[in-house]
A and B are shown apart, each in its own frame.
Chain A
């Protein structure tokens, strides 16, 4: 199904883009409290997609990266959907090194492979949580989260994940590309809202802007 592009006005899309920008900026500041990394941000990209187009959109965005791991976290409430932290597989090793540099005692007892996975899961959890949390706060609502789940590209779970979207629905994809400057690692955060949230979201965006009239 083709998405109904008129679902959102240009201004509503601009508001959403700015809110995503603010939310991701806050998320990186939260991350800087935990691990000594500097994150370069990009201008967020907002797209209205048919849910059937989503697997193609995700695969297309993954082409820039050799092998990826996706941390996926569902959020539920008025604002409902999924957050995805997409990161090169193996980059956990570099992040583990940064974490060990800044806090040598932190990781002594943890085997290297588990540590890398735990770090990516934790960073994904922090960034998705802070990002979605800030969007919710700005739109005067709150959400609850499912535990984060790691999905490796080209795995059975990845294919199952791509097939899990109902093609009849329209989704909003909000993407921000980032780069961890010290290690030159690029990845992106994708927040996808469920179809049921769209009417609520339009109303919430209008109310957000009304406070600035």
Chain B
């Protein structure tokens, strides 16, 4: 079974990144890297090849909406979990249509982060089985 170890967090707020990191389950060792906007996030994605990416939407330089397609150009199977304060129905529909795996509402909560990681692992394992 494939397990998630490498996590990329893309958010302009250092506090939001810290909050999210504290919500990542402590049951195993994760390697976590951070980026402060979409451009840095895409660069980090290329270097780090994370198993999953947590991505904010409202960011300077390049926002989450533009970042999702850039990451998916690098890896069409990329698992991108949008974590945002913008929970308007249209925003949710748009990120899902862009190919985000799921959308979580800020502030980050331990249960929802853990659940999202578990769901992502299921998806990775189902994809591996199909291959």
Contact = CB atoms under 8 A, between A and B. Distances in A.
A26 B15 contact: no
Q: Residue among B84, B85, B86, B90 with the most chain A CB within 10 A? A: B85
Given A138-B107, A213-B22, A14 B15 contact: yes
B60 interface: yes
Given A21-B58, A41-B58, A26 B90 contact: no
B60 A38 contact: no
User: Interface majority SS on A: helix, strand, loop or mixed?
Assistant: helix
Contact of A18 (B13, B23, B87): B13
A24 B90 CA distance: 16
Given A42-B58, A212-B23, A213-B22, A29 B88 contact: yes
Contacts of A38: 88, 90-91
- B interface, size bucket: 20 to 34
B86 A41 contact: yes
Contacts of A212: 18-19, 22-23
A25 interface: yes
Q: Residue among A22, A26, A42, A138 with the most chain B CB within 10 A? A: A22
Interface of A: 11, 14-15, 17-18, 21-26, 28-29, 32, 38-39, 41-43, 138, 209, 212-213
Given A28-B88, A43-B60, 7 more contacts: A18-B16, A29-B87, A29-B88, A32-B90, A41-B86, A209-B15, A212-B18
